[in-house]
């Protein structure tokens, strides 16, 4: 996008451009990849706060890096961006869907970030569980698990991962030992692990809503009390199931990364002329190479989010 006549009071084009950028793959692919890959150590009741805060710092750098290169691409100054946020902030609630709002807010709020990462870890385990059920023939060949709002690109990633998972399982099934077969079948046929994860996800979602100070009517109806696995299951067996599910989650993440790499390659070709710096930044960010950028854009955006969504509650 070429630089426009910024002497005009009408800076709405900046906000429209920002929304277009934030909804697109150049932003979403590196952001979602970071969130999912780093979420693996975030557990309900986790106490590794030092490591959590270190990852939060990385996340803030990533947001700054991507927003900074976007600003360079459209050729505006931080002051012009601040003006655009101020004049368009009343459109935030209608333009920013829940997942996008959370991504941006989490950069400025550690509690929000921690809740988002824990929920993501839980959702990934639920996705892994669904893959196991699908491989065992207990679900149709399409993705069913309830997750936070995802883009069309992410839906395609999930569908391709589902297809690859079933194919690889068919090729490897003959080499699986009896214990692994039985463990998969047990996870697929019993609902204790799913009920536990869904209860944890509901609790984290409720905490997210409270962090955002949303109305009670928008909070999930599920209670915050966790539902334990089936009765008469030994602690050793529970631990074995959970360890296997996390192992499958890690395989799921690896397959997702491969598919996202393909999407990023094709997106770069489309966006290279329109947003050259953002496109290069997305590739660097996907590879884990992020340079420090100005905090000003994120701060201005956070102020707009706070004014129009949080403070008005």
Between 161 and 269, whose confidence is greater?
161
Cα(116)–Cα(39) distance, rounded to whole angstroms? 9
Average pLDDT over residues 288-298: 70
Report, in angstroms and rounded to the nearest whole number, the Rg of the chain calculated over CA atoms: 21
Between 84 and 113, whose confidence is greater?
113
Identify which of 176, 146, 170 has the alpha carbon closest to the alpha carbon of residue 158: 146
Cα(308)–Cα(62) distance, rounded to whole angstroms? 24
On the question of pLDDT at 167 being above 70, the answer is yes
Average pLDDT over residues 254-281: 86
Q: What tokens were used for 85? A: 């946020």
Instruction: Give, to the nearest 10 degrees, the angle between helix 235-271 and helix 25-38.
Output: 160
Lowest mean pLDDT among 157-161, 192-196, 205-209, 220-224: 220-224
Between 222 and 204, whose confidence is greater?
204
Average pLDDT over residues 204-230: 59
* Spatial contact of 285 and 34, defined as CB atoms under 8 Å apart: yes
On the question of pLDDT at 5 being above 50, the answer is no
Between 280 and 54, whose confidence is greater?
54
Q: What tokens were used for 193? A: 């692990």
How does residue 225 score in pLDDT terms, banded at 50, 70 and 90? very low
Cα 252 to its chain centre, rounded Å, is 14
Model pLDDT, residue 307 = 65
What domains are there in the chain, each with its CATH number? 12-310 (1.20.1520.10)
Q: What is the mean pLDDT of the chain?
A: 79
Cα(213)–Cα(263) distance, rounded to whole angstroms? 35
Cα(271)–Cα(259) distance, rounded to whole angstroms? 18
Model pLDDT, residue 6 = 44
Q: What tokens were used for 254? A: 């690896």
pTM: 0.81
Q: What is the pLDDT of residues 31-79, one digit of tens each?
A: 999 999 999 999 988 788 999 999 999 999 999 888 888 888 888 877 7
Model pLDDT, residue 148 = 55
């Amino acid at each position: 996008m070429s630089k426009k006549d910024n002497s005009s009071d009408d800076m709405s084009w900046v906000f429209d451009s920002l929304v277009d950028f934030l909804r697109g793959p150049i932003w979403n692919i590196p952001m979602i990849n970071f969130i999912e890959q780093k979420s693996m150590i975030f557990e309900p009741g986790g106490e590794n706060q030092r490591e959590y805060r270190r990852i939060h710092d990385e996340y803030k750098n990533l947001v700054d890096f991507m927003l900074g290169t976007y600003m360079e691409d459209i050729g505006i100054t931080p002051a012009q961006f601040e003006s655009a946020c101020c004049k368009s902030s009343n459109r935030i609630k209608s333009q920013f869907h829940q997942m996008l709002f959370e991504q941006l807010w989490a950069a400025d709020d550690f509690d929000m970030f921690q809740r988002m990462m824990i929920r993501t870890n839980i959702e990934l385990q639920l996705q892994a569980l669904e893959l196991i059920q699908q491989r065992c023939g207990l679900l149709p060949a399409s993705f069913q698990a309830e997750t936070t709002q995802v883009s069309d690109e992410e839906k395609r990633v999930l569908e391709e991962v589902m297809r690859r998972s079933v194919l690889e399982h068919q090729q490897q099934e003959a080499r699986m030992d009896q214990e692994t077969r039985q463990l998969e079948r047990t996870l697929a046929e019993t609902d204790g692990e799913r009920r536990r994860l869904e209860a944890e996800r509901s609790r984290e979602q409720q905490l997210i809503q409270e962090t955002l100070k949303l109305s009670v009517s928008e909070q999930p109806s599920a209670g915050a009390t966790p539902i334990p696995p089936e009765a008469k299951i030994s602690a050793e067996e529970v631990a074995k199931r959970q360890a296997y599910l996390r192992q499958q989650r890690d395989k799921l993440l690896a397959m997702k990364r491969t598919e996202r790499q393909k999407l990023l390659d094709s997106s770069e070709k489309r966006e290279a002329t329109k947003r050259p710096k953002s496109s290069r930044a997305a590739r660097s960010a996907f590879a884990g190479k992020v340079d420090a950028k100005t905090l000003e854009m994120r701060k201005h955006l956070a102020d707009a989010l706070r004014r129009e969504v949080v403070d008005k509650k």
